[in-house]
Structure formats: C-alpha cells, structure tokens
Chain A
C-alpha cells in the first residue's frame, strides 16, 4: 500500500454516505444489480445522461476544507457596522448558540407538519409569535417570513386582498429601507399595482389608495407618529402596514395601538447574526379579522385526544400546498430556526433585559448625537431611537472613509448625509473611537458621563410605550443559564429530528448536515458582516460566492447563478420573472400562460400567480407522467401566449420520466421557456445536467440537495441557474452594485430579496459539502440515493403497492406507496400510519403529496442500511396491524393505528381498556425500552384548533403541572 492509501482522502465521502461497500453490495444484490454504476443504465433514461465529466476537483478532506474556510475567513474583515438599514449588530447569547444554533436536535428538524412529534419547536415558535404580538400590539402573528422586504411585499399583496378600496394605488413611505422599496417595486409590477414612493402624508392625501407602508422608525432613524397617515389610509378604505424595528418597539408605542393593520419587520437583532445578509426571521402580525388572508405558517394551540393542550400549524388551507394558485402566498420554507433563536433571545432576556438593552442602545445614540451637536454637527432627525442622520455637506464620503480607517462602517446616504445606527454591541469604547472621526480638534473632549447626566428625553411622550410586554411567565422563568439550558433541552427532546432517527420525507431530501459543513457559521468573520459593507471587507465571501456559483454551474450545466432567492419559492418567483422579462425584451410580453402538470408542488402555481401568469394545468397519464398528448394540445392551443412550463425533474412522483426531452422541446417549439423545479435534484447530481436536458431556468434547493439543514422549517436557499440568454435579467440590488454582473441595457427583473446574496452565511454549508464530496463523492451520493429508494420500494412492494415506476420498473430517489385500497377496505388512513410510525420512533414520510392517501419515502444517501431496514420493518409491522383489521381480528376503531400515537400518560393511567396489549401499543416490534421515543401528546384535534384559533402562548394555568 502507498502513502496515499493511508491518507484517507475520501474519508468524508464514506462519512456522508450511510451505507458502506458491504451494505451497498447487499442492496444491489436485492435488486439483482452487480455494480453501483449499473443504476444509471437501469434507472435513468439514456438520452438525459450527461457525457461531459464534471470539472469539479476531487474530494477534499474535512481538515483541508476547514483550512480553506479559514483562509476565506481571513479575507473577510469585521468592522463595527453602524450602517443600520434593517441590519444591526447583536449578541447571540452563548447558551443559545451552543444549545440551539449548534445543536442538531434543533437544526436538523423538519417543518412541523407531524405536530405530535414536533411539540418542542412548536412551543419555541409560539414564544416567537407571542413576542411579536406583544411588540406590535396586534393579536395574531405568524411563525416567520423570509426577510423584512419580502414581508412588506406580502403585506402589500394581503392588503389588496383585504381592502375594499377600488384603487390600485399603493403608497410607500420614502423613508423605508431602499431594499424594501426595491422588492415592492418588483412585486407591484406584476400585480398591476401603482406604487408611489414619497412623503406618505402628501401621497395619501392626494387621492385614493388601497394601502400604505410606513417605516417606524424610518430608515433615516426618524421616529414619526404614524397615526395621521394610518387614519387617512383608512378613510380611503385602505389598510396601513408598518415596517417596524423590534428593539425600538420595546421602547416605542406599539403600531397596533396606533391603528396599524399589519406590522412587519426583521427579528434579526434579537440575537441572530447579520451573516452578510442572512438568514434571519421576518415577522408578520395582523388583526384577527384578517388572519385568513395572512401569508405564512401560523402556530396555533389545540387539544389532543385526551384534552391536553397541543400545538400545531393552524389554518393550513390558506397555504400553497392546498390552495395552489389561489393561496395567500407562495411561501413554503420560512425561517424557523432563526425565529426560534429570536424567541429564545426574548425568553433569555425577559422584559426587563430587553428594556435595558433598548435603553442602553438609545442612550448611547443620544449621547453621541448630543456630543456631535455640541461641536456643530447638524442632526436632521432630532426624534430617534438608535439611528440618526447627519447633515455633512460634501463631507459624507470623506467622513465615512475616516470612520473605516478607525474600523467603523457608517451609512453614506448621499454626498451630504451620513447615517449612524447604534446597536447592542456598541459600547463606550466605540463611541470614543467614533468621536475621533468627527473631531479634528483634540481639545474637543467626549465627556460621556457629563452628557449622560444632562440628557433630556428626545422622544415625544405620546410615542413611548405604555403597555407592558412579555408578561407571560415563559419570559420570566429562565433567566439563569442553568434554567435556560434545561428549558431548551426539554423542548428539543420532545421532537424527532435527524439526531434521533431517519426522516424519510419524500421531496425533502433530509440528508446529513455534517458538522464540518456548519463550522463557518460560527466564525465571527462570516457571522458579523453587515450585507452592505464595502466589498473589500467581504472578499472571503465574494470568493466563496464565485466558487459556489461555478460549482453549481458545473453540476447543472447553466451559464450563471443568482444567489439572491432566499428559498425555493423565491427561486420560482425570480425564475418566472426572468422568463417574463426575456419575452418582454423580445417584444413578446403578451406571453402569460404558464403550463403546470397537475402533479406539481403547490408552490409552482402559487409562484406563477404572483408573477402575473395564468396557470393552465397539464394532465398526467395513468403512469403519473406528464401526458405528452395533452401537453402537445395545450402548447398548440396557447402557442401565441405560452410563457413557460414549470416541471419538476425527476417528477414529483419520483420517476425519471422518459419523455422529458420531448416535453422541453415541445415547449421551446412554441416559443416557451422551461422552468425546472430543482426539488428533486438529488437524483441528478453528477449524472445529468438539467441545462442539457432542456431547462432554461432552475432553482436549486440548497437545503435539500446541498446539505443546508432544514432548521425545522427554514432557513432555505433557492438560487436560480439560467442559460446564457437569460443571464442579463437575473436580480440586482439597489444598495450594492454589481450583484448581476451580466446586467445589460434592458435592465434586470429588479430585486427579489432584501439582501444582495440572500442568506449569504449558509452558502458556506453548500460550498463545504460540494468541496468535501468532490465530483466522485457527489456522483456516488446520487447513485446510493437512487439505490436506497429502489431498495425500499423493493422491500415494501409485497406489503404496499408502489404507485409509480419508470424504466425497468425502477423509481428515482424516492418512492410512493399507495394506501388508497387499504383505506377503502379498513378505514386506516395515511394519518393513522404516520402517527403510528411515531410509536415506532420514526418521523412519517410525506403524506398525501403528490397523490392523496399515499406516502412518499425518500431515504437519501445518508441513511445506513440498518436504519433503512429498521424503517422497512416498522412499515411491514404496521402492515400486519392493518391486516389484523382486514381479517377482523382487530377492531376497526379500537386498534393501535387509530389510537396512535400512544403517550406516557396512557401507560401510567389506571385503566387499560384497549383490546390490544400495552406491549403492542408502546413497544411494537420489540422496541428497546431504553431508546423509546415518547410522543409528548396524543393525536391532535385539528378541527378544534382551527375552530378556536389561538396563536399566542397558553394561559398560565396550562403550565400549572410543570
């Protein structure tokens, strides 16, 4: 053996891919295959297999990647950023960082659709909603949106749905953050709204409008009373939205108390690092009467079968997975992990702690503004919270440059104006440094103590908060670190995340999120960069973006990527806008029909509707494939107006459709563009390139295929790849130049996310994953993912019918098992099976998508064969339980399926009146008592919860038994 053999160069590949050679061999044997490479000819249509090898380098070891990340990190320079504009320095409490951000129990969880096994993060999210309810003064809040700018855009869209005003005019405060205005402009264009930006009082007085957006405090820092404008908007039958800063709201009067109908904002400064743009949780609150028009996921309180309080997502009928193009929004993945962190930040500090922080920030800002005033500087915003604007004729750039020399970034508003924003991280020392920037005369002393003693309140009394916040006991109980640590641990152990068992969710790709991939998130040089710092401070990031883009281009075959879209849904929206723009530039702007197969994910039609496209459904044939004859008829019928086809590949049915090239060609022949949904890219990496198959645009869910953890429902990232002819139209940004270097004379689609490169910090995860896997590892991962799915299909086939297969009876990377017949004969539903799996310690597969009453299973490459076998054994054991009902030996109602999940309460109850044994109920399949997962609640009553909507923390009495 040579030295090379001892160097373990491919070590990460075998750590990431669950089954070892022996297990791969066993699975291949089961399927009658000889070698892993035989998967390709067996399962993948010949005409889509790529013949150009990847240009990616070979695998790099964990240590080498960490070393490389450290060199990138060294090229990012952390200044004190006092830029503001919605991004502020903050201190993530170390106890939260260690126990949540760095704890796979939190970051590897999935969106809490299976509520019974998600009670921990649902409680954490309820805390977040309570914080937002208290701060905004509005009674309902959702469990996060993607960023402040898109939250404002969602508010505008919701306003149109709710408002009775006939006008299509929407007024936007000129003192909103520029990125918010840019995102609104993009959205308004395709909704047909007339956006007017300027002084809101004048604009609202000038004529009818359906709504108004105000920033509170303004981007300039000015705190203005929004009451009069809100009243004027109401007089038009319009609604008022206030984009607010949560720390300011700790001190300021709640917008809800001043008539605001919607309040949005970013919870970033509640302990979530700026991360060069994200991820952070945006919040959204409104009045009770508008709750059904609200976008995003709402956590609500219901009861379980035993009458115990239990949490789950409420009012899901508003959402895209049910209402498709009529949904309130296309949002799907949100920012759950970050909302949880912000909620814990409030739990950790409590009302007193938050007030102390807000007062400190406010005081430091006032001391500095006062000091500047005393040496002749003109402060243009006398009433402010933490940010003020200075009038410095012709000197703004020079002063900002001097500040940078001192390690501080200020906001250059224009040649004559500077903005200075204070935050939790600023202290006396920073003030002294900053002072040297503004004073030339060494005689001018900054006497902090003296100024502090003389300050008078600068905020008008009527704008100061008078109502208490965070009065719920959860915000007062856990202020010692010991208590805080135990609270977070107690919640985490209620949930099934990847740290406990496989999560076989089809189309979600719950693969390993390796520790080394997450390392950069904890580096200050990645975490503490403001998204609008000069590029020379972010060279490490810029290098990573360039490398990641070129990796993604290599893997997909596209010409360029935009890293701006913050989630798959955003990628869809951005991609469709790019297609619209392309048609417009060619003088074919009338093309507005978007074809979507009936099997598509609900986000597809919802995104198309947002892009102003008309959705026309294409049928699927009985094998689940796009019905090519129907497609041919539809492209012909809509030939003149065909804008795009949205298609998922492999299909949402988990099949490599053989006709995909023909499908793409049909669309192209009629002048349309092909939008490919990248949700299932994990079946293609290293084998096929979507751009070679015929896709013009595609979003890549980095949180599926490229190892960003799901975070319990976000963060996600949905960058889009495009063919060369679409590159000029990719998103740009109003604050940072050069975000789309290919932008040409026809302009771009505008801005789709608040930050120039979306949730920049988590891009490091995908970068590290691709670097460590290398070309060889990525291809192997794909092959093993397909192998594992086919192995499961094979093992379960005799017990449950496998609904759809492709070439040689093979599935792609996931398989659908059909329970429709079982339901008809026994009354056992997919819900029953899903909840019963919790008794066996598993998270359920995807339920009833894309076909009702089926389960879609995706094992990914990361699951070891032992775990896969354990899952198959559970499914087979459950099938036997169903068989007992069929045979009449088990009751149709009083059986372990209908009663699942079985809680510890039931075990210790005096009476056991079930016709099956406790062993069958709690320890089926001879489960190990030591490792048993105990569902914290029994089956949740969704009907009760939706009829009695309650989306704030439970009343105190509910905590009595703790």
Chain B
C-alpha cells in the first residue's frame, strides 16, 4: 500500500520491510523538467526531517526530506544518467531511494491515497 507525505513523497512497503521512496506526479509536474537528482550514500542513517534527496529542474529545486528516521539501503542509480525518469514515471522507474525505517510504525501517521487526493484538492 502506498502512503503519502504533505511534501508529495510516496512510500511503498516492500516485502522485506524496506520502504521505497519517490515523488508524486503532482510534485514532478510542479518541478518541471528534471535535470539532476542528488542521491544519498547507501548505508547512511538519516534522521526524520533531514535531507534525503535533492531534485533539480532548470528553474527549481525540490528537497526530499526523510519522512522517518531510517537507513539508506539502495538508491536508483539509473537517475544519474536519466533524471527525466522522475518526470515520465514518478510512481515507477523514477523511484529515488529504498530506506529501512528505524521504526516500522512510522508509516501509520502518513496519508493514504484518499487522504492525499483530498489534500491535493485542498491546495
């Protein structure tokens, strides 16, 4: 099941308990043509609210914050050469990082699909 943050990140729980993080279609549209994605080092522990990924378009910068304290387990290496994947397939091949949360229950506080759609409607 997907969860969403108010910063327009999505998180998907994988079978091994890790979370895959990406940005929503709404977010990629706001940023425009993405030219660069700065990914974290694998193995780094990052506190909740700290910077996870920086996404740059020609005219804007998106800072993707850690939704919960976690360790970076993998990053989407293909974005180094094809940052445009975040535009074309934000929910799929444009994923950013895979993280292992310190506390698995952290997700519960986040929005589900319906809540996120309502949130978008309120903007």
**Are A and B subunits of one complex?**
yes
Binding site for B on A (CB under 8 A): 292, 315-317, 322-323, 326, 942-943, 946-947
Chain B, Cβ-Cβ closest to A324: B61
Residues of B within 8 A of A292 (CB): 36, 38, 56
Q: Is the CB of B33 within 8 A of A316?
A: no
Extra inter-chain contacts (14) besides given A292-B56, A947-B36, A947-B83, CB under 8 Å: A292-B38, A315-B56, A316-B59, A317-B57, A317-B59, A317-B60, A322-B59, A322-B61, A323-B61, A943-B33, A946-B35, A946-B56, A947-B35, A947-B84
| Pairs A–B under 8 Å by Cβ, sample size 7 | A315-B56, A317-B59, A322-B61, A326-B61, A946-B56, A947-B83, A947-B84
Q: Is B58 part of the contact surface with A, judged by Cβ < 8 Å?
A: yes
Residues of A within 8 A of B58 (CB): 316-317, 942-943, 946
* Closest CB in chain A relative to B54 CB, distance in Å: 9
Residues of B within 8 A of A317 (CB): 56-61
Q: Is the interface of A mostly helix, strand, loop or mixed?
A: helix
Binding site for A on B (CB under 8 A): 33, 35-36, 38, 56-61, 83-84
Residues of A within 8 A of B35 (CB): 943, 946-947
Q: Which 7 A-B pairs have the closest CB atoms?
A: A946-B35, A943-B33, A942-B58, A317-B56, A317-B61, A947-B35, A946-B58
Residues of B within 8 A of A322 (CB): 59-61
Chain A, Cβ-Cβ closest to B32: A943
Q: How far is it, in angstroms, between the C-alpha of A846 and the C-alpha of B72 when the chains are bound?
A: 42
Q: How far is it, in angstroms, between the C-alpha of A292 and the C-alpha of B39 when the chains are bound?
A: 13
Chain A, Cβ-Cβ closest to B81: A947
Q: How far is it, in angstroms, between the C-alpha of A322 and the C-alpha of B61 when the chains are bound?
A: 8
Q: How far is it, in angstroms, between the C-alpha of A310 and the C-alpha of B106 when the chains are bound?
A: 49
Residues of A within 8 A of B84 (CB): 947
Residues of B within 8 A of A315 (CB): 56
Q: How far is it, in angstroms, between the C-alpha of A323 and the C-alpha of B62 when the chains are bound?
A: 10
Q: How far is it, in angstroms, between the C-alpha of A117 and the C-alpha of B43 when the chains are bound?
A: 47
Residues of A within 8 A of B57 (CB): 317
Residues of B within 8 A of A323 (CB): 61
Residues of A within 8 A of B33 (CB): 943
Q: How far is it, in angstroms, between the C-alpha of A793 and the C-alpha of B57 when the chains are bound?
A: 33
Residues of B within 8 A of A326 (CB): 61
* Closest CB in chain B relative to A449 CB, distance in Å: 59
Chain A, Cβ-Cβ closest to B62: A317
Residues of A within 8 A of B83 (CB): 947
Q: How far is it, in angstroms, between the C-alpha of A317 and the C-alpha of B57 when the chains are bound?
A: 8
Q: How far is it, in angstroms, between the C-alpha of A946 and the C-alpha of B60 when the chains are bound?
A: 12
Q: How far is it, in angstroms, between the C-alpha of A679 and the C-alpha of B100 when the chains are bound?
A: 49
Chain A, Cβ-Cβ closest to B33: A943
Chain A, Cβ-Cβ closest to B38: A292
Chain A, Cβ-Cβ closest to B83: A947
Residues of A within 8 A of B61 (CB): 317, 322-323, 326
Q: How far is it, in angstroms, between the C-alpha of A890 and the C-alpha of B36 when the chains are bound?
A: 36
Q: How far is it, in angstroms, between the C-alpha of A441 and the C-alpha of B88 when the chains are bound?
A: 83
Residues of A within 8 A of B36 (CB): 292, 946-947
Chain A, Cβ-Cβ closest to B56: A317
* Closest CB in chain A relative to B26 CB, distance in Å: 17
* Closest CB in chain A relative to B106 CB, distance in Å: 26
* Closest CB in chain B relative to A935 CB, distance in Å: 20
* Closest CB in chain A relative to B32 CB, distance in Å: 8
* Closest CB in chain B relative to A347 CB, distance in Å: 30
Residues of B within 8 A of A947 (CB): 35-36, 83-84
* Closest CB in chain A relative to B43 CB, distance in Å: 13
* Closest CB in chain A relative to B85 CB, distance in Å: 12
Chain B, Cβ-Cβ closest to A946: B35
* Closest CB in chain B relative to A332 CB, distance in Å: 17
Chain B, Cβ-Cβ closest to A321: B59
Residues of B within 8 A of A942 (CB): 58
* Closest CB in chain A relative to B77 CB, distance in Å: 16
Residues of B within 8 A of A943 (CB): 33, 35, 58
Q: How far is it, in angstroms, between the C-alpha of A947 and the C-alpha of B87 when the chains are bound?
A: 14
Q: How far is it, in angstroms, between the C-alpha of A946 and the C-alpha of B37 when the chains are bound?
A: 12
Residues of A within 8 A of B56 (CB): 292, 315, 317, 946
Q: How far is it, in angstroms, between the C-alpha of A316 and the C-alpha of B59 when the chains are bound?
A: 7
* Closest CB in chain B relative to A270 CB, distance in Å: 32
Q: How far is it, in angstroms, between the C-alpha of A316 and the C-alpha of B35 when the chains are bound?
A: 11
Residues of B within 8 A of A946 (CB): 35-36, 56, 58
Q: How far is it, in angstroms, between the C-alpha of A315 and the C-alpha of B60 when the chains are bound?
A: 10
Chain A, Cβ-Cβ closest to B61: A317
Q: How far is it, in angstroms, between the C-alpha of A947 and the C-alpha of B59 when the chains are bound?
A: 13
Q: How far is it, in angstroms, between the C-alpha of A323 and the C-alpha of B63 when the chains are bound?
A: 11
Q: How far is it, in angstroms, between the C-alpha of A323 and the C-alpha of B51 when the chains are bound?
A: 15
Chain A, Cβ-Cβ closest to B82: A947
Most central of A322, A942, A946 by chain B CB within 10 Å:
A946
Chain B, Cβ-Cβ closest to A943: B33
Chain B, Cβ-Cβ closest to A312: B58
Q: How far is it, in angstroms, between the C-alpha of A942 and the C-alpha of B34 when the chains are bound?
A: 11
Q: How far is it, in angstroms, between the C-alpha of A315 and the C-alpha of B54 when the chains are bound?
A: 14
Chain B, Cβ-Cβ closest to A944: B35
Chain B, Cβ-Cβ closest to A831: B59
Q: How far is it, in angstroms, between the C-alpha of A317 and the C-alpha of B62 when the chains are bound?
A: 10
* Closest CB in chain A relative to B38 CB, distance in Å: 7
Residues of B within 8 A of A316 (CB): 58-59
Residues of A within 8 A of B59 (CB): 316-317, 322
Most central of B56, B58, B59 by chain A CB within 10 Å:
B58
Q: How far is it, in angstroms, between the C-alpha of A326 and the C-alpha of B38 when the chains are bound?
A: 15
Q: How far is it, in angstroms, between the C-alpha of A942 and the C-alpha of B56 when the chains are bound?
A: 12
Residues of A within 8 A of B38 (CB): 292
Q: How far is it, in angstroms, between the C-alpha of A946 and the C-alpha of B56 when the chains are bound?
A: 10
* Closest CB in chain B relative to A467 CB, distance in Å: 29
* Closest CB in chain A relative to B62 CB, distance in Å: 10
Q: How far is it, in angstroms, between the C-alpha of A804 and the C-alpha of B120 when the chains are bound?
A: 29
Q: How far is it, in angstroms, between the C-alpha of A946 and the C-alpha of B55 when the chains are bound?
A: 13
* Closest CB in chain B relative to A329 CB, distance in Å: 15
Q: How far is it, in angstroms, between the C-alpha of A586 and the C-alpha of B38 when the chains are bound?
A: 43
Residues of A within 8 A of B60 (CB): 317, 322
* Closest CB in chain A relative to B24 CB, distance in Å: 20
Q: How far is it, in angstroms, between the C-alpha of A323 and the C-alpha of B61 when the chains are bound?
A: 7
Chain B, Cβ-Cβ closest to A852: B59
* Closest CB in chain B relative to A162 CB, distance in Å: 12
* Closest CB in chain A relative to B96 CB, distance in Å: 17
* Closest CB in chain A relative to B65 CB, distance in Å: 13
* Closest CB in chain B relative to A115 CB, distance in Å: 12
Chain A, Cβ-Cβ closest to B58: A942
* Closest CB in chain A relative to B56 CB, distance in Å: 5
Q: How far is it, in angstroms, between the C-alpha of A943 and the C-alpha of B56 when the chains are bound?
A: 11
* Closest CB in chain A relative to B42 CB, distance in Å: 15
Chain A, Cβ-Cβ closest to B41: A164
Q: How far is it, in angstroms, between the C-alpha of A680 and the C-alpha of B112 when the chains are bound?
A: 48
* Closest CB in chain B relative to A823 CB, distance in Å: 13
* Closest CB in chain B relative to A365 CB, distance in Å: 46
* Closest CB in chain A relative to B68 CB, distance in Å: 23
Q: How far is it, in angstroms, between the C-alpha of A322 and the C-alpha of B59 when the chains are bound?
A: 7
Q: How far is it, in angstroms, between the C-alpha of A315 and the C-alpha of B38 when the chains are bound?
A: 13
* Closest CB in chain B relative to A845 CB, distance in Å: 17
* Closest CB in chain B relative to A304 CB, distance in Å: 15
Q: How far is it, in angstroms, between the C-alpha of A208 and the C-alpha of B31 when the chains are bound?
A: 40
Q: How far is it, in angstroms, between the C-alpha of A292 and the C-alpha of B58 when the chains are bound?
A: 13
Q: How far is it, in angstroms, between the C-alpha of A68 and the C-alpha of B35 when the chains are bound?
A: 55
Q: How far is it, in angstroms, between the C-alpha of A317 and the C-alpha of B55 when the chains are bound?
A: 10
Q: How far is it, in angstroms, between the C-alpha of A292 and the C-alpha of B38 when the chains are bound?
A: 10
Q: How far is it, in angstroms, between the C-alpha of A323 and the C-alpha of B83 when the chains are bound?
A: 20
* Closest CB in chain A relative to B21 CB, distance in Å: 21
Q: How far is it, in angstroms, between the C-alpha of A408 and the C-alpha of B36 when the chains are bound?
A: 54
* Closest CB in chain B relative to A142 CB, distance in Å: 17
* Closest CB in chain A relative to B5 CB, distance in Å: 20
* Closest CB in chain A relative to B12 CB, distance in Å: 27
* Closest CB in chain A relative to B19 CB, distance in Å: 26
Q: How far is it, in angstroms, between the C-alpha of A292 and the C-alpha of B61 when the chains are bound?
A: 12
Q: How far is it, in angstroms, between the C-alpha of A68 and the C-alpha of B33 when the chains are bound?
A: 56
* Closest CB in chain B relative to A513 CB, distance in Å: 31
Q: How far is it, in angstroms, between the C-alpha of A326 and the C-alpha of B57 when the chains are bound?
A: 16
Q: How far is it, in angstroms, between the C-alpha of A664 and the C-alpha of B67 when the chains are bound?
A: 39
Q: How far is it, in angstroms, between the C-alpha of A405 and the C-alpha of B33 when the chains are bound?
A: 65
